[in-house]
A and B are shown apart, each in its own frame.
Chain A
């Protein structure tokens, strides 16, 4: 059974870089079709997609965050990571990683497996 687990610091100072890792276990990470994504949720607010990456390293980013975001993959460790530069208080949120499931014909089957989320607070 596929499981995703986020890890990283719970507190980041303003203007610094937020770094999180998502570890994938229980099933093959080496999918030719699926993508792996980051989604965040500020306290009391809705979901915001940050970006996604494929096993081969192809990335898509939310245009509103693109200038500050880098998502990378480490296939040897079954992990993918998020870096968000120059953080501000508005970046305080629960950060979730998720699998974006696709069919062989690139049909999107939804974000079907989620990590439990990790809370990151931006504060001095």
Chain B
């Protein structure tokens, strides 16, 4: 079965840039989505089709996808960005999520 691998945790200082990676075999040939989940809340879509932001998502959230790695980048990270982040892609008709990355802003 297809797997997506994320680092368990990433730390960043407020105002700095955070990068969260998601690795999978030939992931660059698929589209990746990213979801933010704050504690006690439901996930929220922040990036779809590798690079696109849904309405209402701040411009500081951006994405890229090439080769075997998709990356979520948060520029000028704010304390409100502290959350778990999940990547997701499709393996044929099966939706696959990465294991999640806890972003700590300190």
Residues of A within 8 A of B (CB): 37, 39, 46-49, 52, 60, 62-64, 96, 107-112, 114-117
What is B's interface to A at a CB cutoff of 8 Å?
Answer: 1, 31, 33, 35, 37, 42-45, 47-49, 54, 86, 88, 90, 93-100
Q: Indicate whether A49 sits within 8 Å of B94 (C-beta atoms), given known contacts A111-B88, A116-B42, A117-B42.
A: yes
In angstroms, how far is the closest chain B Cβ from the Cβ of A35? 10
* A108-B49, A114-B44 as given contacts; A47 in contact with B1, CB under 8 Å: no
A90 to chain B, nearest CB (A): 16
B97 touches A48 (CB 8 A): yes
Q: Is the CB of B42 within 8 A of A96?
A: yes
Complex interface: chain B residues within 8 A of A96 (CB): 42-43
Chain A nearest CB, measured from B28 CB (Å): 16
A49 contacts B96, C-beta separation under 8 Å: yes
Interface of B is mostly: strand
A64 to B95, CA, bound (A): 12
**Which of B37, B44, B48, B96 has a CB less than 8 Å from the CB of A108?**
B48
Q: In the A-B complex, list the 5 residue pairs whose CB atoms are closest, starting with the nearest.
A: A110-B48, A49-B95, A114-B42, A46-B100, A110-B45
Q: Indicate if the CB atoms of A49 and B97 lie closer than 8 Å.
A: yes
Instruction: List the A side residues contacting B93 at CB < 8 Å.
Output: 60
Q: Assess the B97–A108 pair: CB atoms within 8 A.
A: no
